[in-house]
Chain A
Amino acid sequence: MPSTMPMPIDSDAGRPRLAPHVRLTFDPARQRYVLLTPETVTVLNDTGAAILELCDGERTVAGILTELHARYDRVVDDEVRLFLTDLLAKRRVEVSDG
């Protein structure tokens, strides 16, 4: 199953998506977006939520960056890459190439 093999965000051509056991949802009690796994809750800020909503397995990292720049004034590309790399290491996100 090569297409589901997680790999590092070492190029902007990868297509990130949430790992199968992960759900992104809005938490009405806390009024925040959260990322859920069976054992963890990650409370997200608005930028984090915006990035993850774009991780649909179709868009490339480059595509996500373009989209974010179109929506927000101050987007630091390396911070977005770092955010995704961290979630990749924690296996909340997977990346397929091609």
Chain B
Amino acid sequence: MDRPFGLLAELTYACPLHCPYCSNPLNLGDYCDELTTQEWQRVLAEASELGVLQLHLSGGEPLQRRDLVEIVRSARGVGLYTNLITSGFGLSPRRAELLRAAGLDHVQISIQADEPTLADRIAGARSFERKKAAARLVKSLGWPLTVNVVLHRHNIDRVDRILDMAADLGADRIELANTQYYGWAWRNRDGLLPSRAQLECAEATVRARRGRLDGRIEIIYVVPDYYSRYPKPCMGGWGRRQLTVVPNGDVLPCPTAHALPLPRVSVREHPLAWIWERSPLFQRFRGTGWMPHPCRSCGRREIDFGGCRCQAFQLTGDAARTDPVCHLSPDHGLVAAAVRAANSDTQPARTPLTFRPHPDRPVKG
């Protein structure tokens, strides 16, 4: 069995923003009994022993945890590469300096668009200027900065200006991530999915800018799987390279597997090594033995592992089916229909979006 390389630590689902594309689960309130500082420290030590090298601190908004600096210090203490994935909201100069001193390796700040009106509308709160200030703060402290922008129907036409903004902020890298339809994004899918024309235009821009910006800023473009022939190799394979620990200590093979009808498993009840190696949850879709037709006999089964289990479950009600994004899937019609709707003239340009709410949460840490 392989050892995991990466741990995604979702420290809290508390967040001051309301992005309708948020991949967090819909039942945010079920995760309010958060792990304590000491519990996280134990998890990090166990993760490192298990072979984890990279720690992604995310959420919700990880800056909402008052013990974030301590958690980073512990992670560096056990040798992990530490990456903070943040909205930037709440990164004061003092906090930033403490995180820098604690050894935080890399910061990724998400921004909703290149201008305040649209950005604040998508975030559901006045946040654009503060995010830009946070990005500048990160650079001024000498950190490497990745700017992340989640792309969808309402901002994808602005890729050119978004790239200008990232360059202006001095970002080392910009991640243009097409929305993945989980959690709140799944609920809002029909209002977020861009048209093919929008997508082609954005991709042409990315190609052109890669040529021009070459040598200055790295552009990472995450393809939209609804428009792909093949599914994404989700998490590099189930229980193969990555694991996620969510705020209440539940462990998942992928950050969106909350809703799958599988037995749950928690760091509060088992050591991480047992969970990785032996828990029924992690064994369920490991390898290729579980695969249905057409994956079972497909030449790509070790390349994309049959795609995403969560997407299969969401679309078909059965997590063990081929990801319907794959054009070979018997359920591909489900994805094709959503794409057709996104490209029809009758697609209402303003399908109302549901904004992600605040979970009710006692403050921990």
Residues 39-61 (chain B) with a chain A CB within 8 angstroms: 48-51, 53-54, 56
Cβ-neighbour of A23 out of B81, B143, B173, B216 (below 8 A) = B81
Q: Are B56 and A30 in contact (CB under 8 A)?
A: no
What per-residue 1/0 map shows which CB atoms of B1-26 lie under 8 Å from chain A? 00101100000000000000000000
B144 lies within 8 A of chain A by Cβ: yes
How many B residues face the partner with a CB closer than 8 A?
A: 26
> A27 interface residue, CB < 8 Å from B?
yes
Find A25's partner among B5, B49, B81, B108 (CB 8 Å cutoff): B81
Q: A20-B172, A23-B81, A38-B83 are in contact. Are A30 and B146 (CB under 8 A)?
A: no
A31 to B48, CA, bound (A): 13
Give chain A residues whose Cβ lies under 8 Å from the Cβ of B172. 19-21
Min CB distance B358 to A, Å, is: 28
Please tell me if the beta carbons of B5 and A29 are within 8 angstroms of each other in the complex: no
B124 on the interface (CB 8 Å rule)? no
A39 to B216, CA, bound (A): 19
B225 contacts chain A at the CB level, 8 A cutoff: no
Contact, CB under 8 Å: B53 / A27: yes
Please tell me if A75 contacts chain B, counting CB pairs below 8 Å: no
- Interface residue ranges of A1-36 to B (CB < 8 Å): 5-7, 19-21, 23, 25, 27-30, 34, 36
Could you say which of A28, A30, A38 contacts B106, with CB atoms under 8 Å apart?
A38
**Are A29 and B106 in contact, CB atoms less than 8 angstroms apart?**
no
Please give 18 more A-B residue pairs, beta carbons under 8 A apart, in addition to A5-B216, A27-B51, A38-B56: A5-B215, A7-B215, A19-B172, A20-B143, A20-B172, A21-B105, A21-B144, A21-B173, A25-B53, A25-B79, A25-B81, A29-B3, A29-B48, A30-B3, A34-B53, A38-B54, A38-B83, A41-B53
